[in-house]
Amino acid sequence: MQTFGRHLRSHWHLDDEGTFLNHGSFGACPKDVLAEQSRWRLLMERQPDSFFRYTVSPRLMNNELRVAAERLGRFVGTECERIAFVTNATEAVNTVLRSLRLKAGDEILVLDCVYNAVRLASEEVCKASGAKVVKVSLPIPLTANDVAERIADAAGAKTRLAIIDHIASPTAVVFPVAEITRALKAKGVRVLIDGAHAVGQLALDLPAIGADWYTANCHKWLYSPRGSAFLYATEEVAGQTVPLSVSHWHELKFPRAFDYVGTRDVSAFLSVPAAIDFIERFDTAKVRDYLMQLSREGVALMARLGAEPTAPDAMFAAMCTYTLPQRREAVPDDALQLMQGLWEKHKVQIASNAFQGKLLCRLSAQIYVERADVEHGVAALERHGWPGR
Ligand SMILES: Cc1ncc(COP(=O)(O)O)c(C=O)c1O
């Protein structure tokens, strides 16, 4: 039997009738990892006092959250003291934005493919301070060679922070973040990499990227339960990086102050080591090779519909986004209609977006997906059609 493919669906609770080609949006957590989360929850429920006062107390150097952070840190090339757990990338981005103390005239640089919630969070902090958001336009299809230069050209003396997507949500493009960071740092700009999709999907060495902050969701491509993400901060910016909710352990600072931000369920964080065990059991490098190969097969299949990738092969990993041929400009409702219709009529789940007037379709590879699933999805898309075709 092949190592990867549809037979691995038995590790997940995914609906038997569905074809799931959108792991990217919300992830999907394997049964083994959910079992580990249940084990932690049971421990919490059996003796809540012991659990919160000792097992996960930030006061104890080697509490279980720090043990989990140590394992996660090793997986992304850094140490436990650089990793704070947060619920999701949205929380991490808001945390960094709130740490800036912006003033009138300051600028936050984002890419035009920025995740909508990240754009809104940036606009909100700017509104309060008279700063403004500057968007770098990167028309699709993208080419790899001049991206870093174009982004750095848009930064200037007023740029207080650049938020750069590692893997962009609508276009699935993998940006050369180390090169971009170097170019921005040369201009004295602080950099936050939004790697919401990156951990698990790409091999990461965070110090080598060189950004001030880096965030990623463990609940997407690392297979951990939802509500588990991290914020990495260099020693230089750690002091200004404080949780959005100030609580008992505030004086412990980054990252320990993040371990307790009021009473909450931290079992998703504690299950991250089990998620790493899960991906490593399949051999992380082999998982990534398989996902890349499946993405490439998708490109050939989607070409039959006249759909073109938003960037060259070298700028994709486990997700690939296509521009669907249309007779008119796309509007956001087209994307919603397409996603809902494909699921309701064909039980095929994809991601879709309207971006730069184009209707995009994003397909996620996964180890529980095989070529036949992608063929099935593409055939359903061909039969179903899309608004404005
Ligand atoms: C690039 C990017 N940033 C941030 C997020 C936000 O993730 P979350 O909703 O888990 O906070 C996403 C979610 O898909 C994303 O794709």
DSSP 8-state code for residue 7: G
pLDDT tens-digit series, residues 198-238: 999 999 999 999 999 999 999 999 999 999 999 999 999 99
Please indicate, yes or no, if residue 126 is contained in any of the structural domains: yes
Q: Is residue 389 part of a domain?
A: no
User: Is the residue at 123 inside a domain?
Assistant: yes
Q: Is 331 domain-assigned?
A: yes
How confident is the model at residue 114, as a pLDDT?
A: 98
Whose Cα sits closest to atom 7 in ligand 1? 89
Residue 47 has pLDDT above 80, yes or no: yes
Considering the domain architecture, whether residues 143 and 290 belong to the same structural domain is answered as no
Q: Which residues line ligand 1 (CB under 6 A)?
A: 25, 88-90, 115, 117-118, 165, 169, 194, 196-197, 217
What's the CATH code of the domain at 348? 3.90.1150.10
pLDDT at 359: 98
Task: Check whether residue 139 and residue 38 sit in a common domain.
Answer: yes
208 and 90 inside one domain: yes
Residue 133's pLDDT is: 98
Q: How many domains does the chain have?
A: 2
Q: What is the pLDDT of residue 88?
A: 98
In a shared domain, residues 24 and 130: no
> Does residue 1 fall inside a structural domain?
no
Q: Confidence class of residue 324 from pLDDT cuts 50, 70 and 90?
A: very high
Q: How far is it, in rounded angstroms, from Cα 322 to Cα 98?
A: 35
Judge if 23 and 72 occupy the same domain: no
Judgement on whether residues 261 and 170 belong to the same structural domain of the protein? yes
Query: Lowest-pLDDT range, 144-153, 236-245, 333-342, 370-379?
Result: 144-153
State residue 192's pLDDT score: 98
Which atom of ligand 1 lies at the shortest distance from residue 217's CA? 10
Average pLDDT over residues 60-77: 97
39: CA distance to ligand 1 center in Å? Answer: 27
Model confidence, pTM:
0.98
Per-residue pLDDT of 111-132, as tens digits, reads 999 999 999 999 999 998 999 9
Kindly give the distance from the C-alpha atom of residue 196 to the centroid of ligand 1, in angstroms, as a whole number: 5
**How far, in Å, from the CA of 74 to the mean position of ligand 1?**
23
Judge if 208 and 62 occupy the same domain: yes
* Structure token digits, residue 108: 């936050």
Q: Which atom of ligand 1 lies nearest, measured to the CA of 89?
A: 11
| Cα 152 to averaged position of ligand 1 atoms, centre (Å) | 23
pLDDT at 100 over 80: yes
pLDDT band at 103 (very low <50, low <70, confident <90, very high): very high
Per-residue pLDDT tens for 286-300?
A: 999 999 999 999 999
Nearest in space to 58 (alpha carbons), one of 307, 243, 326: 243
**pLDDT value of residue 199:** 98
Of 242, 277, 312, which residue sits at a domain end?
277
What value does the mean pLDDT take over residues 35-52? 98
Q: How far away, in angstroms, is 121 Cα from ligand 1 center? A: 12
Q: For the domain that residue 210 is a member of, what is the CATH number?
A: 3.40.640.10
Model pLDDT, residue 317: 97
Confidence at 378, pLDDT banded by 50, 70, 90: very high
What are the distances in angstroms from CA 310 to CA 26, 83, 368?
A: 22, 33, 25
Question: How many other C-beta atoms can be found within 10 angstroms of the C-beta atom of residue 45?
Answer: 9
322-332: average pLDDT: 97
pLDDT score recorded for residue 146: 86
How does residue 27 score in pLDDT terms, banded at 50, 70 and 90?
A: very high
Mean pLDDT of the 362-371 span: 98
For the segment 256-279, the average pLDDT, to the nearest whole number, is: 98
Beta strands in the chain (DSSP E): 19-20, 83-86, 107-111, 132-136, 159-165, 191-194, 213-217, 229-233, 308-309, 319-324, 348-349, 351-355, 358-364
* 226: number of Cβ within 10 Å: 17
Helices vs. strands in the chain: H and E counts, helices first = 15, 13
The answer to whether position 215 is within a domain reads: yes
The answer to whether position 212 is within a domain reads: yes
The answer to whether position 207 is within a domain reads: yes
Model pLDDT, residue 53: 97
Based on the domain organization, do 121 and 141 belong to the same domain? Answer: yes
Q: Does 144 score more than 80 pLDDT?
A: no
Average pLDDT over residues 1-23: 96
Same domain, 256 and 289: no
Ligand 1 atom having least distance to the Cα of 226: 10
The Cα diameter of the chain in Å comes to 63
Domain C-terminal end among 277, 296, 313: 277
Residue 99: left (phi > 0), alpha (psi -120 to 50), or beta?
alpha
Q: Last residue of a domain, which of 277, 305, 323?
A: 277
* Minimum-distance ligand 1 atom for the alpha carbon of 219: 10
89 CA distance to ligand 1 middle (Å): 6
For the segment 171-186, what is each residue's pLDDT rounded down to a tens digit?
999 999 999 999 999 9
Mean pLDDT over residues 130-147, rounded? Answer: 92
Q: Name the pLDDT band for 145 (thresholds 50, 70, 90).
A: confident
For ligand 1, atom 14: residue with the closest CA = 25
Whether residues 43 and 117 share a domain: the answer is yes
Average pLDDT over the chain, rounded to an integer = 97
130 and 222 in one domain?
yes
Residue 165 CA: nearest ligand 1 atom is 1
Let me know whether 23 and 114 are in one domain: no
Structural domain of 227: 34-277
